[in-house]
Amino acid sequence: MRADFLDLGIAETARLLRKGELSPVRIVEAALERIAAGDAVLRSFITVFDEQAMAVARASETMLRAGHDLGPLHGIPIALKDNIATAGGRTTAGSKVLADWIPTEDATIVRRLRRAGAIVLGKTNMHEFAWGGTSANPHYGNVRNPWDPARFPAGSSGGSAVAVAARFCHCAIGTDTGGSIRLPSAVNGTVGIRPTYGRVSNHGIVPLAWSMDTAGPITRTVEDCELVFDAIAGFDPRDPASVRHPVNRMSNKSDVDLRGLRVGIVPGYFFHHLQSAVENAVRGALDVLVSLGATIEDVAIASIEGNISAQLTIESAEPSTYHQRNLRERPGDYGDDVRTLLEAGEMMLATHYLQAQRYRALLRAEFLEAFERVDVFVCPTLPFTATKVGETRVVIDDGEPEDMLSAIMQFTGIASLTGFPSLNVPCGFDGDGLPVGMQIIGRPFSEAHLFRVGRAFQQATSHHERSPDETPWT
């Protein structure tokens, strides 16, 4: 059983903390008890900072009682993907190679969260070095989906999404290169945003593919996601990819009127090669947006079909460059799947990589031109719901199994390649009760607008209010 207050969002929890009806100590105690009861099955954490989290919770409570309020995240328990450096706390990146790494300083995103009063419960499990979409980890165990522990949680930030969906914490930070925040958010029924490239600092985060990597929050509601995003976004001189751009703090919560919103779809691509449950849920979500005042426009993106190939090229070449030395000196310390991918990346020609980068520029230009006609694009986050743990192939719409890694990137690669912000919002369930997510993609630095659309959708629907049956894993 879970304490009822673990179901509350960050905003409501913050209100109760300030009224004295809840305390950081009580919340963290309940969260740690729940992790202890359920995570032996779900394997969402690699490391839990029990003692440290309780010490911070007691200090947070003292500060609140003294009237020293750090903001809406003060006293809120969060988790961090284990490729994000924490000073004095083990950071493995889900690997054997970094199994004993204890960073001496926090990543920028961690410093900002601590400064905002958040309490770090621990580090979440992930696909090794973030290079994969299943969160099947040979070193720390396979992460499992709380909606059905026989199913995968997607990845690579699978542990972060599971921890939020299972009510182990109010928020977890993930990283997203080819879809690693949005994919697990979709199959675990959580909200997750990939910010505009350069909007959130990567300093102190173990890289996968540096020209696409970014970090962002995974939460249960759009409102919570925006609260956390506001705390972590902003320029960082220690990250060479960081962009100087004003951060639009918390958009108007009461603005749920979508009249005039122009929603773009690419009909020959967005609704092709989908499981029927996914198509039905996303089309139903579009109907909701129309009922709130939006209009739907078909948009042609001439070069969209090449995005999976380009993404796999870049996401092979750049990780192999980063891991080149360890791959030669310690090949046996890598899991079989990740080692194979890294070795394949070594075979990429410079011409392959450069052509993929040229394609990125073309795709970005085509979408920027399309954004003169529409305000956002809406599409599925991935074309299928959660598959069984351990499967590497998936059946989508023709009865023939296909490679999961390429299939899983069908829609998320668009924002990854262009650097645009993209928000996953739960939009339904399949016949087995497994979550479906839709992706809302915006022009650069339009996160506040995406949050507005997502929040309006959640105020009109109840998908995000459902929680998994905990019986199989507690």
Domain residue limits, the chain: 5-232, 262-303+359-459
pLDDT tens digits, 49-59: 999 999 999 99
Token pair for 340: 């194979």
Helices (H) and strands (E) in the chain, counts: 16, 13
CB neighbours (10 Å) of residue 441?
A: 23
- The β-bridge relationship of strands 191-194 and 422-429 is antiparallel
**For 5-232, which CATH class?**
alpha beta
pLDDT of residue 249 exceeding 80 = no
CA 157 → CA 254, 297, 308, 446, distances in Å?
Answer: 31, 33, 20, 23
pLDDT of residue 256 exceeding 90 = no
Task: Find tokens 């092979």 and name the residue.
Answer: 316
**Cα dihedral 285, 288, 294, 382 in deg (nearest 10):** -10
Residue 288 backbone phi and psi in degrees, to 5: -65, -45
CB neighbours (10 Å) of residue 472?
A: 15
> For residues 177 and 215, is the Cβ–Cβ distance under 8 A?
no
Instruction: Please give the Cα distance from 424 to 405 (Å, whole number).
Output: 19
Nearest to 143 by CA among 133, 164, 158, 128: 158
pLDDT of residue 248 exceeding 80 = no
Task: Find tokens 């905990």 and name the residue.
Answer: 470
Average pLDDT of the chain, as a whole number: 96
pLDDT of residue 252 exceeding 70 = no
Supply the DSSP string of 359-378, one letter for each residue: HHHHHHHHHHHHTTT-SEEE
**Cβ-based neighbours of 329, under 8 Å, separated by 6 or more:** none
pTM above 0.75, yes or no: yes
Mean of pLDDT values over 302-329: 96
- The β-bridge relationship of strands 295-298 and 262-265 is parallel
What's the confidence (pLDDT) of residue 257?
A: 86
Mean of pLDDT values over 315-338: 97
Name the pLDDT band for 253 (thresholds 50, 70, 90): low
- The β-bridge relationship of strands 77-81 and 171-176 is parallel
CA 432 → CA 123, 387, 429, distances in Å?
Answer: 30, 11, 8
pLDDT tens digits, 90-114: 999 999 999 999 999 999 999 999 9
3-state secondary structure of 154: coil
3-state secondary structure of 239: coil
What's the confidence (pLDDT) of residue 3?
A: 77
Token pair for 174: 């993930």
What's the confidence (pLDDT) of residue 1?
A: 57
Fold matches, 5-232 and 262-303+359-459: yes
What's the confidence (pLDDT) of residue 405?
A: 84
Residues marked as catalytic? 81, 156, 180
Fold of 262-303+359-459: Amidase signature (AS) enzymes (3.90.1300)
**Cβ-based neighbours of 45, under 8 Å, separated by 6 or more:** 35, 39, 79, 121, 122, 123, 124, 125, 159, 163, 168
Share of the chain above pLDDT 90, in %: 93
Which range is least confidently modeled, 30-34, 227-231, 249-253? 249-253
pLDDT of residue 337 exceeding 90 = yes
Distance of CA 161 to the CA centre of its chain: 7
Mean of pLDDT values over 305-319: 95
